[in-house]
Amino acid sequence: MEANKRRKVAPWPTLLKPVEEPGNADGLGGLFDGLPAAEDHGVAAAPKSQAVPQVKKPVTTIRCLHILKKHTKSRRPTSWRERVITRTVEEATYQVKEFRKHVAAKATPKEQQAEFERLARKESDCGSAREGGSLGRFHRGQMQKPFEDAAFALEVNEMSHVVMTDSGVHIILRVE
């Protein structure tokens, strides 16, 4: 066969005897004749399925519980519990830290949430105390900035450290 004439190759296997041509690696005269096989160069086969990394959706709405202790410098130093708040910022901060320790000592998230709700009903100066400190679902822009930043930074079932706002001193437990 002449070098510049192309031989037709069937797209299916044929039972014809291979043609011996010079420079033909396997003698079949196919499209990839003369090229080395991939395994000859130590190239590993690509994995069958590559895991696609999960992209976290930005959280837009959360649900939290909180305990608020007001103090004399709160924007409204009064509550459903006390007509006039007389505790200092330091006293309010100390009380909230003690509540946090008490809740954190519980073993499971369910026990922590139950204890948090119990303490909120008994100790919180916020009107949400009647609902165990629940603020319901809220999105960004609805709460005071320090509170919002702390709440949205929490993972589900995570409790914040002390958070100071114009309303007073808080601890927050994110539940959703």
Q: Is 139 a catalytic residue?
A: no
- Considering the candidates 112, 113, 128, 167, report the single residue annotated as catalytic: 167
80 is written with which tokens? 């459903």
Contact (CB, 8 A) for 77 and 63? no
- Considering the candidates 113, 126, 128, 160, report the single residue annotated as catalytic: 126
Give the residue from 171, 27, 2, 169 showing the smallest Cα distance to 88.
169
- Considering the candidates 66, 74, 79, 128, report the single residue annotated as catalytic: 66
Q: Is 41 a catalytic residue?
A: no
Residue 52 CB: number of other CB atoms within 10 A?
Answer: 6
25 is written with which tokens? 């690696």
- Considering the candidates 71, 79, 160, 170, report the single residue annotated as catalytic: 170
Strand order in the sheet with 169-174: 134-139, 61-69, 169-174, 163-164
Q: Is 128 a catalytic residue?
A: no
**Cα(108)–Cα(104) distance, integer angstroms:** 9
Q: Is 160 a catalytic residue?
A: no
Q: Is 102 a catalytic residue?
A: no
Give the side-chain half-sphere CA count within 13 A for 137. 4
Residues labelled as active-site residues: 66, 126, 144, 167, 170
